[in-house]
Amino acid sequence: MKFFVDNWILILVAFVSGGMLVWPMVRKGGAGGSVATGEAVRLINREKGVLIDVCEPSEFAAGHAAGARNVPLAQLEGSKELPSNKTLPLLVMCASGGRAGRAAAMLRRAGYERAMAVAGGTNAWREAQLPIERSGAGKSAEKAEKADKAEKSA
Residue 6 forms part of a structural domain: no
What per-residue confidence (pLDDT) applies to 139?
Answer: 45
Residue 26 forms part of a structural domain: no
Residue 152 forms part of a structural domain: no
Name the percent of the chain lying above pLDDT 90.
Answer: 62
What per-residue confidence (pLDDT) applies to 141?
Answer: 42
* 120-148 average pLDDT score: 71
Q: What is the mean pLDDT of the chain?
A: 84
How many residues would you count in the chain?
A: 154
Residue 22 forms part of a structural domain: no
How many domains in the chain?
1
Residue 18 forms part of a structural domain: no
Residue 1 forms part of a structural domain: no
Q: Which of 43, 51, 55, 94 is catalytic?
A: 94
Residues 41-65 pLDDT 10s: 999 999 999 999 999 999 999 999 9
Domain enclosing residue 35, as ranges = 31-140
Residue 75 forms part of a structural domain: yes
94 has catalytic annotation: yes
Residue 150 forms part of a structural domain: no
Q: Which positions ≥6 away from 40 have C-beta within 8 Å? A: 49, 51, 91, 93, 116, 118
CATH classification of the domain holding 104: 3.40.250.10
State pTM to two decimals: 0.67
